[in-house]
Amino acid sequence: MDGEFAIDVAGMTKKFGDRVVVNAIDLRVRRGEICGFLGPNGSGKTTFIRMLCGLLNADGGSGTCLGMDVLKDSERIKRRVGYMTQRFSFWEDLSIRENLDFVARMYSVPGRRARVDASLERLGLAGRQKQLAGQLSGGWKQRLALAACLIHDPELLLLDEPTAGVDPKARREFWEQIHQLAAEGLTFLITTHYMDEAERCHRLAYIAYGQLLTSGTVQEVVDGAALTTFEVRGPDLPRLAGELRGRDGVQQAVAFGNALHVSGDDAAALERAIAPWRSKPHDWKQVRCGLEDVFIHLMDRAKDNFPQ
């Protein structure tokens, strides 16, 4: 092992023209840890991942990935990292087995046939190994992509929105596999937009407009936001939300199913703002702030990095 951290970088920066798409990001991920990498579309998540695995050259920063210099050792890093892209990127006119065999050839995997057999069994693909990749459902394509990422025994997996478009059952099975692999020592950096998936991660990092806004465990992220949130139930909640939005102390008034979540980071100001409505027919109660409340709160305060 090359130290405690699989990823240990500081000041990672990338520019495209005048636009800074990743701005001096620091990130540490321990070996065997699942780190959720969150942020809105266009926030710089994919760019950051591509810098880590050597597909893009960073314009600034330093640090290590799997103990190797993230700027100087990109070719060596690639051999020990698995990268699963947002879109299915394998050959649809080849079978599952043929796809895995091809990837194994690219990595010059020793004992290739045995390794492919083992990968098929491990990911539950053996019974479908002759099926063409183009005929697979989203969940089975996901399994194939994960199997291909693992074929060369990487130490770190970078997964870019791996469950987009996958049904809930397949998503749950995928996360069970991820946790099993992490328990065996594999490290993960996973981008996702799903809050239930974020809560399955050991730690989180949230970026917007190229800036790292928060990081830590779920509890640390929620506590760090210091948001006070009330859940409101009763009639005509859209009208109530409209009346509350924009009042001093109210930073969010958002529908959650049959309820309304009203939040602010100044508890006293929020109490004053909602006081005129704290009566029947609406039922108010203070609730634990959720990740979605936190991320919307952070996003509202982030500065757009697109030149105006």
Same domain, 100 and 165: yes
Same domain, 109 and 211: yes
Same domain, 272 and 139: no
Pairwise CA distance, residues 166 & 83, whole Å:
18
Last residue of a domain, one of 169, 199, 221: 221
Structural contact between residues 146 and 177, judged by C-beta atoms closer than 8 angstroms? yes
Which segments in the chain show pLDDT lower than 70?
A: 1-2, 303-308
Res 28: pLDDT: 96
Same domain, 179 and 248: no
CATH number for 240: 3.30.70.100
Same domain, 203 and 57: yes
Res 2: pLDDT: 54
Outline where DSSP puts E strands in 156-308.
156-160, 187-191, 203-208, 211-216, 228-233, 252-256, 259-264, 283-287
Shortest CA distance to 230 belongs to which of 247, 252, 248?
252
Read off the pLDDT of residues 61-114 as tens digits, 9 standing for 90 and up: 999 999 999 999 988 998 899 998 877 778 989 999 999 999 999 999 999 999
Same domain, 10 and 79: yes
Q: How many CB atoms lie within 10 A of CB 308?
A: 3
Last residue of a domain, one of 199, 221, 243: 221
296 within domain boundaries: no
How buried is residue 185: exposed, middle or buried, by Cβ count under 10 Å (0-12/13-18/19+)? Answer: exposed
Same domain, 215 and 235: no
300 within domain boundaries: no
Same domain, 54 and 134: yes
Same domain, 17 and 165: yes
307 within domain boundaries: no
Same domain, 261 and 122: no
Structural contact between residues 281 and 234, judged by C-beta atoms closer than 8 angstroms? yes
Domain that holds residue 238: 228-288
Same domain, 161 and 282: no
Domains: count for the chain: 2
297 within domain boundaries: no
Res 301: pLDDT: 75
pTM over cut 0.85: yes
Same domain, 236 and 215: no
73 within domain boundaries: yes
Res 137: pLDDT: 87
301 within domain boundaries: no
Res 180: pLDDT: 94
Last residue of a domain, one of 200, 221, 242: 221
List beta partners, residue 95. 132
CATH number for 123: 3.40.50.300
Tokens of 116: 């492919």
